[in-house]
Structure 1
Amino acid sequence: MKYAILVMATVLLAGCAAPSNSARSDGPLKTLASEKTSAEVAQCIQVAWQDVKLFGDSADVFLDRQGDGNFTVFTTQTRYFADVLRQGGGSEVRFYAHKGGDQIQLRAAAIATCL
């Protein structure tokens, strides 16, 4: 029984893990710039992507601080994610998505509202 609980917990936590470098191997779908700080942009993206009216019940969105003013905002199973990087006094957003994702345009538009 303990083993089954451990396996279940591992599976659940895997859906919340920040994206790996291999997920970035194909490069971003979009790269955008902002005069806002990376923290402001990352927090805005997280809130925008949690909008259940736009994205349905799969609105679990996580924010991972990378250090040096960099952040990654990502959804469950890292289907969609954005690296928000500090660039001088502003920031750069690199948006990634799995091919064939049905919410790519909506998520990209939500990012644009945060710039």
Structure 2
Amino acid sequence: MIERWQLASAQLRSDDAEGVPQCYIRALTGMETTMRIIAAALGLCVLTGCTGINMKQARSGAPVQSVTSQKPAQKIAQCVQFSWQDEAMFGVMTDASTEASDGGYTVFTPAATYFADIRPRGAGSVVSFYAREQGEVATRRLASLATCL
């Protein structure tokens, strides 16, 4: 069924669409756009859901390290995200995102393999680093985070 409407939609975009009611052309084009939006939304939901579950599981245990800083949480979060995107230090694993959470920020890598919770505390911040995988990359991420304190 999907192949039929895709084929019809492709044919309607060609010059041979004469005689076809415009409402049919609009319906097919709208359906194609809607399908793309739905697919993108589902993909985003799956990725976000997996990340949330991974972070929740990691938070149930102790962080690899917790440190304090005199800097504001927002500045630290921006610095950590930027430093975790350093291709020279992390190679192809440079994706890092930041989201506001629980009055502070969480900076995380894909699938929340590594993440840092940054929360305001007094005039400064407290940073908790979590790593679901230990090793050289975790050590580099922690060292990179330390430069932001």
- TM-score bin, normalised by smaller chain: 0.7 to 0.9
Alignment equivalent of 2:78, drawn from 1, 24, 43: 43
Q: How many residues align?
A: 112
Q: After alignment, is 22-31 or 94-103 more displaced?
A: 94-103
1:13-33: CA deviation from partner (whole Å, max 9, x where unpaired): 544555442231112000011
- Is 1:75–2:121 an aligned residue pair? no
Instruction: Say which of 10, 20, 24 aligns to 2:42.
Output: 10
Is the counterpart of residue 55 in structure 1 residue 81 in structure 2? no
Inter-partner Cα distance in structure 2 for 1:79 and 1:10: 21
Q: Structure 2 residue aligned with 1:29, among 50, 64, 69?
A: 64
Higher relative contact order (CA 8 A, sep 6+): 1
More helix by percentage: 2
- Structure 2: gaps (5+ residues): 3-34
Unaligned 5+ segments in structure 1 are: none
Structure 1 position 46, deviation (Å): 0.3
**When the two structures are superposed, what TM-score results if normalisation uses the length of structure 2?**
0.66
- Is the contact made by 1:73 and 1:81 (CA closer than 8 Å) also made in structure 2? yes
- Decide whether the 8 Å contact of 1:83 with 1:94 is kept in 2: yes
CA contact (8 A) 1:49 1:110 kept: yes
Give the distance between the partners of 1:109 and 1:10, measured in 2 at CA: 35
Q: Report if the CA contact (8 A) 2:84-2:90 is conserved.
A: yes
SS in 2 for 1:103: helix
CA contact (8 A) 1:71 1:85 kept: yes
SS at match of 1:27: coil
Q: Report which of the two has the higher share of strand.
A: 1
Superposed CA offset, 1:42-83 (max 9, x none):
110000000011111121100001253x00000011000000
Q: Report if the CA contact (8 A) 2:113-2:133 is conserved.
A: no
Runs of 4+ deviating beyond 6 Å: none
Aligned to 2:131: 97
